[in-house]
Amino acid sequence: MQQGVAPIQLILWMNAAGRLYSAIEGIDVPKDAIVDINTLSDVLFMKQINDLSFTINDRIVVLIEHQSTINENVPLRLLMYIARVYEKIIDRDKLYQRKLEKIPTPEFIVLYNGKDECPDYQELKLSTAFKDIAGLKQPCGTELPLELLVQVYNINHGRNPEIQKKCETLESYSLFIAKIKELSEYLPLDEAVKSAVKYCIEHNILREFLRDHASEVINMLCDELTTEEIAEIRAREAREEGREEGLAEGRVEGIFAIARNALEEGSTPEFVQKITGLSLEEIANI
């Protein structure tokens, strides 16, 4: 989850969870299907941990993440999320009964709308992250003891049109973000977001949602994008200063300072990794 993204998108996806899943899977979820939202939250810090998770008729559990940057560690993160979701929706005592406890089948989905090039659809596998065990274990064929498959869909405007047409909320959101990107080419960010909100309301794109949440949308998107821009600028400055001084120690200290500042301003560890080149382990120890 991109820090700062979820509060607004969550409202959208919660209201259209069934339709969104139907569009992605290419099936019609029954209108009387029971959709229960079970998104994780941090009770201590009152923050969301993942973007959206829900069950359908208690038979399927769907985890959906919204990403504006490409992140190959999503399968590992979703593995940790699904374990916590199961802890949340399954009676712990049933784990010790003799009878097999049936659990909802998991689905893992990422909705991507960043600037980097990304295909309409791709799959990310947890096994890609597994270390080489040659010489430590006999070959076990193609079946792995643990696997997790994430479906990544590019939801930028013009991508995956067949899915967007089946889910009006998704298509409208795609148009809204595309309008912001278009306007930000020649307007300051805050003006671009405000103008995009006005344009979409006038053209019946997320009209009711934007009318009800206009100020939150504007503040959230401006804060999110400004934080990313500031972090990128500071990272570039740190790299330039490091090169000018020619001191590896100074460069490393500068990069770590940028990482600390970005984390304090709400950036995710994955975004900090992208702009600094640090490993997630190094970032976790900051």
pLDDT digits (tens, 9 = 90+) for 177-228: 899 889 988 888 788 888 999 999 999 998 888 888 888 777 777 666 555 5
Q: How confident is the model at residue 6 (pLDDT cuts 50, 70, 90)?
A: very low
Residue with tokens 């992140």: 71
pLDDT digits (tens, 9 = 90+) for 241-282: 655 554 455 556 777 777 787 777 777 787 777 777 777 778
Which residue(s) pair with 36 in the sheet?
A: 55
| Percent of residues, the chain, with pLDDT higher than 90 | 31
pLDDT score for 156: 92
pLDDT score for 147: 95
Contacts of 120 (CB under 8 A, 6+ apart): 153, 154, 159, 160
Average the pLDDT over 54-60 and give the result.
91
* Pair of tokens at residue 132: 């080489």
pLDDT score for 3: 40
Domain ranges (residues) in the chain = 1-160
Return the closest-CA partner of residue 85 out of 107, 53, 57, 48: 53
Q: How confident is the model at residue 1 (pLDDT cuts 50, 70, 90)?
A: very low
Whether residue 150 is predicted with pLDDT greater than 90 in this model: the reply is: yes
pLDDT score for 198: 92
Amino acid at 95: L
Whether residue 4 is predicted with pLDDT greater than 50 in this model: the reply is: no
Average the pLDDT over 2-14 and give the result.
54
